[in-house]
């Protein structure tokens, strides 16, 4: 699907979608339990993949809400207000069929470790994009723990074959490729017989995503502790040399339910759009922005540093933003890789240079997001300089004009380009716009309600 976005002025209030990161973890945690309710989940293409995996392991996921009867025979989950998860009690069964993770890297990595707990063989695959993404370090770690974990093409990429059961133990893994490897081992390690000690061989990047995992595990009654070089406990994942997870634990949220917070990765597009396109004298308000462990909440400070007027009422969970002349900034995205597309788009509108550092790991997402943003913004008239670990957007040398751009089958690229299109003269056509369903279903409808001039074309 293509969308056509014409330069617009915004006003009004929008609600952020629930967090994709939390929803993935909550669904799998509920699967590890005897059963739990996940309230306010994000129902998207990616989280449906995790729900299917839980079902494949012997659990069941049904929608609860006006549009759902709880049976959910096709696995679509509708517009559920909550998800009732029948768990598999800590030990996944061997799936009757291949687990298709579609385009969801989070699903594949978390579910690969879950599959290692099953007493038998699980096969996991995904779409063409997912089959190009690295899984080798996690496969190696599981192999070191005594599990058969292999790529069918012997290249560290899906399809994967995993044969358990995993008993636990001590394992080393790099921390600078994907924090999801760590999350997968922590979540699975809690239900092993021996527990799991995870040693990091390189510094941990995207530490806030592991903090999300630690926060959620605690809410499900599971203990997992980051430790320093001496083995002493730390308050958070940043600077950790490893993690300690006792075995034999039970997943059980207080009251049998868990509520998913709003998603700051998605909030970044709404906030950025408000900063570049709010009508004079008006405000864009974003609801559902309560504080949590999400590192992407850093976008609030980044947009404010660039010059926008931002007011975050943390207690109410509401952000108000007004349009302003933006200036370039330098941002390290080592812990916040999903913010790179948003920051790059803002940099194309701002005066001066916006330098996005420590971003090599952002090349291993649904697409190489560093190159994708550089190339697509240049189609709109932006000037960029791309290095292996740095992307610089030269805002003062950029003159954004409508053009046809490619979303690269990547939800975050699509939404970031829509943000840039708001500030471009004329009309911008974004190809592959349907991929916003991965994390923000209804994104363009939400933006339309705020005043974006947008037309969808099949």
What's the rounded mean pLDDT across residues 292-298?
93
- Residue 74: pLDDT over 50: no
* Same-domain pairing of 236 and 327: no
* Same-domain pairing of 233 and 372: no
Does residue 14 contact residue 445 with C-beta atoms inside 8 Å? no
pLDDT of residue 68: 44
* Same-domain pairing of 95 and 215: yes
What's the rounded mean pLDDT across residues 299-317?
97
* Same-domain pairing of 36 and 65: yes
- Residue 69: pLDDT over 80: no
**DSSP-derived 3-state class of residue 144:** helix
CATH number of the domain to which 170 belongs:
3.65.10.10
* Same-domain pairing of 338 and 215: no
- Give the separation between CA 444 and CA 37, rounded to whole angstroms: 29
Angstrom CA distances, 376 to 346, 396, 402, 420, 429, stand at 14, 18, 11, 10, 11
- Residue 281: pLDDT over 70: yes
* Same-domain pairing of 255 and 293: no
Q: pLDDT confidence of 267, banded at 50, 70, 90?
A: very high
What's the rounded mean pLDDT across residues 436-454?
95
Report CA torsion sign: 396, 397, 403, 406.
negative
Q: What's this model's pTM, rounded to 2 decimal places?
A: 0.84
What's the rounded mean pLDDT across residues 282-289?
96
Binding residue numbers: 20-21, 25, 105, 133, 178-180, 206, 338, 365, 369, 412
Contacts of 81 (CB under 8 A, 6+ apart): 39, 40, 64, 65, 66
Binding residue numbers for 3-phosphoshikimate: 20-21, 25, 178-180, 206, 338, 365
Q: Tell me whether residue 96 is exposed, middle or buried, using C-beta atoms within 10 angstroms of its C-beta: 0 to 12, 13 to 18, 19 or more.
A: exposed
What's the rounded mean pLDDT across residues 425-448?
96
Exposure class string for 152-161: b at 16+ Cβ within 10 A, else e: eeeebbbebb
* Same-domain pairing of 430 and 314: yes
Please give the share of the chain, as a percent, with pLDDT higher than 70: 97
Q: Which of 218, 242, 259 is the last residue of a domain?
A: 259
* Same-domain pairing of 402 and 369: yes
Q: pLDDT confidence of 76, banded at 50, 70, 90?
A: low
For the ranges 56-65, 177-186, 348-357, the lowest mean pLDDT is seen at: 56-65
pLDDT of residue 458: 74
Q: pLDDT confidence of 357, banded at 50, 70, 90?
A: very high
* Same-domain pairing of 242 and 184: yes
- Which of 72, 338, 406, 437 is catalytic? The answer is 338
Q: Which of 259, 281, 302 is the last residue of a domain?
A: 259
* Same-domain pairing of 226 and 349: no
Q: pLDDT confidence of 106, banded at 50, 70, 90?
A: very high
pLDDT of residue 65: 64
* Same-domain pairing of 396 and 428: yes
What's the rounded mean pLDDT across residues 209-227?
97
Binding residue numbers for phosphoenolpyruvate: 20, 105, 133, 180, 369, 412
Mean pLDDT estimate for the chain: 95
pLDDT of residue 143: 98
Q: pLDDT confidence of 404, banded at 50, 70, 90?
A: very high
Q: Which two tokens stand for residue 46?
A: 């990616």
- Residue 67: pLDDT over 80: no
The count of structural domains within the chain is 2
Q: Residue 195 is part of which domain span?
A: 20-259
Q: How many CB atoms are located within 10 Å of the residue 445 CB?
A: 11
- Residue 66: pLDDT over 80: no
pLDDT of residue 73: 36
Q: Which of 259, 279, 298 is the last residue of a domain?
A: 259
338 flagged as catalytic:
yes
pLDDT of residue 80: 80
* Same-domain pairing of 115 and 235: yes
For the ranges 77-86, 174-183, 189-198, 431-440, the lowest mean pLDDT is seen at: 77-86
């Amino acid at each position: 699907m293509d969308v056509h976005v014409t330069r617009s002025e915004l006003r009004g209030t929008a609600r952020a979608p629930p967090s994709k990161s939390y929803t993935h973890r909550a669904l799998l945690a509920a699967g590890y339990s005897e059963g739990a309710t996940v309230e306010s989940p994000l129902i998207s293409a990616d989280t449906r993949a995790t729900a299917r995996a839980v079902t494949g392991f012997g659990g069941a996921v049904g929608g609860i809400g006006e549009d759902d009867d709880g049976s959910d025979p096709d696995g679509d989950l509708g517009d559920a207000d909550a998800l009732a998860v029948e768990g598999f009690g800590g030990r996944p069964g061997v799936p009757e069929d291949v687990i298709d993770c579609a385009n969801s890297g989070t699903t594949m990595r978390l579910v690969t470790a879950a599959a290692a707990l099953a007493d038998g063989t699980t096969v996991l695959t995904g779409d063409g994009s997912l089959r190009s993404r690295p899984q080798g370090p996690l496969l190696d770690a599981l192999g070191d723990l005594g599990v058969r974990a292999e790529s069918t093409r012997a290249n560290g990429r899906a399809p994967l074959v995993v044969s358990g059961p995993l008993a636990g133990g001590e394992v080393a893994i790099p921390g600078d490729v994907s924090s999801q490897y760590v999350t997968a081992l922590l979540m699975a390690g809690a239900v092993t017989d021996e527990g799991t000690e995870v040693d990091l061989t390189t510094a941990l990047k995207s530490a806030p995503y592991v903090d999300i995992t630690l926060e959620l595990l605690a809410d499900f009654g599971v203990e997992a502790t980051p430790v320093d070089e001496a083995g002493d406990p730390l308050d958070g994942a940043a600077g950790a040399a490893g993690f300690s997870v006792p075995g034999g634990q039970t997943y059980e949220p207080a009251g049998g339910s868990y509520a998913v917070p709003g998603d700051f990765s998605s909030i970044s597009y709404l906030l950025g759009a408000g900063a570049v396109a709010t009508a004079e004298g008006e405000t864009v308000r974003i609801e559902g922005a309560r504080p949590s462990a999400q590192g992407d909440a850093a976008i609030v400070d980044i947009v404010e540093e660039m010059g926008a007027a931002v007011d975050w009422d943390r207690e109410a969970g509401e952000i108000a933003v007004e349009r302003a002349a933006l200036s370039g900034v330098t941002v390290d995205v080592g812990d916040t890789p999903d913010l790179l597309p948003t920051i790059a788009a803002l940099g194309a509108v701002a005066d001066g240079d916006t330098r996005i550092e420590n971003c090599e790991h952002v090349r291993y997402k649904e697409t190489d997001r560093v190159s994708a943003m550089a190339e697509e913004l240049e189609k709109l008239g932006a000037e960029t300089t791309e290095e292996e670990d740095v992307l610089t957007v030269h805002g003062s040398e950029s003159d954004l004009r409508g053009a046809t751009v490619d979303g690269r089958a990547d939800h975050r690229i699509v939404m970031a380009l829509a943000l840039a299109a708001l500030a471009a003269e004329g009309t911008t056509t974004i190809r592959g716009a349907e991929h916003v369903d991965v994390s923000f279903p209804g994104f363009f409808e939400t933006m339309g309600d705020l005043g974006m001039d947008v037309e969808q074309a099949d």
